[in-house]
A = this chain, B = another copy of it.
Amino acid sequence: MPQMRGIRQLAKHLDISIGTVSRALNGKPDVNEETRKRVLAAAEELGYVANQSGRSLRQGTTNAIGMMVESSKETVENSDNFFLGVTGGVQSVLSRHNLDLFMLPCPNDEDPYEYMKRMVARQVVDAMIISATQRIDKRIDLLVKAQIPFVALGRSSSGGDYNWIDLDFEGVATKAVDRLVSKGHRRIAVAAPSSDINLGYIFVDAYRRALERHGIEYDPSRVIRVQSSENGGYQAAETMLRLEDRPTAIILIYELMAIGFYRRMVEEGIFPGRDVAVIGFREEPRAKFLQPSLTRFRMSLADLGVELAETLLATMPVYAAHYPASARNTIWPLELVPGESDAFILKA
């Protein structure tokens, strides 16, 4: 006789049927308490945990949530542990429902859309968290069409009415412009990512409106498109140095740009916080120690993770009842942390 495994073996060991074992393990009410105790004890002792494929096939659900991340060279070198920071918060919510989180890194040589299509078709997860949304993002249309519950970290023009959370780029742009204007600046540049990532558009729009509120004319040459990296910041400084009517202040959409920006300016004898005002975006460890300290915006990654997970679960029929009040769309606030990089008053 072949060796039995899994639930069959456990049932044999206990001399009861596999159905009862399953019901006991899954907390079904119609099980004798004495029986349940025996089953749980034996499972613990033998280290039995239900095979996920068996469960998934039968239940049509994997009890896992996927978080797609991209591991391109640019992402790796130029972002900090943003995603790992968010996972903590996400998991704290998922664990309430015995859901696991898998991070799904899209291979560099695979198109993110194709990768997602494959993951969806294979049904390795019940729902998805996606990020780095593009202005036009086919992934969103795919998920909507395939009726896979999902939440996006980032807005997009695609997909119509779907669930997203996005950082408050408008708020950041507005606060940054207001602050710089209050310090006497009128010629304010912005360094925005050169990729098609949606946040670039949103940010620049808000920056433009903020300028207009202050009666400052929008000058497209002051929107400097560069890579979201230290080197991009260096390039942005280079470009800014060559502008006619050189701006006296700059807002950097990615904080990491600040490192390269500082460097290029100092090379030129122009000192941030004295000769040029700089505001960064998200507080991140790498730029936290810049001298002079950077004015920047702060947020809690863990809290963002919680919000992401709750928004997602609210869209999944099985869990929706637990999260009735969850917003479908959230603008995630950031708090301004004043530094020395823009503290001076510009002389008129």
> Taking beta carbons and an 8 Å cutoff, which residues of A are in contact with B?
47-54, 56-57, 62, 64, 69, 71-73, 75-81, 83-85, 87-88, 91-92, 95, 100-105, 107-110, 117-118, 121-124, 230, 256, 259, 263, 285-286, 288-289, 301
Task: Across the interface, name the chain B residue whose C-beta is closest to A105.
Answer: B87
Task: Across the interface, name the chain B residue whose C-beta is closest to A258.
Answer: B289
Q: Which residues of B contact A285 (CB under 8 A)?
A: 77-78, 230, 256, 286
Q: Which residues of B contact A230 (CB under 8 A)?
A: 285, 288-289
Query: Could you tell me if B52 and A124 are in contact, using CB atoms closer than 8 angstroms?
Result: yes
As for how many copies of this chain the complex holds, the number is 2
Q: Which residues of B contact A101 (CB under 8 A)?
A: 105
Q: How far is the CB of A130 from chain B (nearest CB, A)?
A: 15
Q: Which residues of B contact A81 (CB under 8 A)?
A: 75-77, 79-81
Query: Could you tell me if B286 and A263 are in contact, using CB atoms closer than 8 angstroms?
Result: no
Q: How far is the CB of A34 from chain B (nearest CB, A)?
A: 25
Q: Once bound together, how far apart are the Cα atoms of A80 and B84, in whole Å? A: 10
Query: Could you tell me if B84 and A105 are in contact, using CB atoms closer than 8 angstroms?
Result: yes
Known A-B contacts: A48-B121, A53-B62, A79-B81. Give 14 more (CB < 8 A). A47-B121, A52-B122, A53-B123, A57-B57, A71-B85, A76-B84, A80-B80, A92-B107, A95-B107, A100-B104, A101-B105, A102-B104, A103-B103, A263-B289
Q: Once bound together, how far apart are the Cα atoms of A84 and B103, in whole Å? A: 10
Q: Which residues of B contact A64 (CB under 8 A)?
A: 124
Query: Could you tell me if A123 and B91 are in contact, using CB atoms closer than 8 angstroms?
Result: no
Task: Across the interface, name the chain B residue whose C-beta is closest to A60.
Answer: B53
Q: Which residues of B contact A83 (CB under 8 A)?
A: 84
> Which of A51, A62, A256 has most chain B Cβ within 10 Å?
A51
Q: Once bound together, how far apart are the Cα atoms of A43 and B108, in whole Å? A: 25
Query: Could you tell me if A88 and B117 are in contact, using CB atoms closer than 8 angstroms?
Result: no
CB within 8 Å for A118 and B76 given contacts A64-B124, A91-B107, A95-B107:
no
Query: Could you tell me if A47 and B117 are in contact, using CB atoms closer than 8 angstroms?
Result: yes
Query: Could you tell me if B56 and A84 are in contact, using CB atoms closer than 8 angstroms?
Result: no
Q: Once bound together, how far apart are the Cα atoms of A268 and B252, in whole Å? A: 32
CB within 8 Å for A88 and B102 given contacts A53-B123, A62-B53, A285-B286:
no
Q: Once bound together, how far apart are the Cα atoms of A104 and B87, in whole Å? A: 10
Q: Which residues of B contact A54 (CB under 8 A)?
A: 53, 57
Query: Could you tell me if A84 and B69 are in contact, using CB atoms closer than 8 angstroms?
Result: yes
Give 10 nearest A-B pairs by CB, closest first. A49-B121, A103-B103, A286-B286, A53-B56, A52-B122, A91-B107, A53-B57, A102-B102, A76-B85, A87-B105
Task: Across the interface, name the chain B residue whose C-beta is closest to A66.
Answer: B102
Q: How far is the CB of A279 from chain B (nearest CB, A)?
A: 19
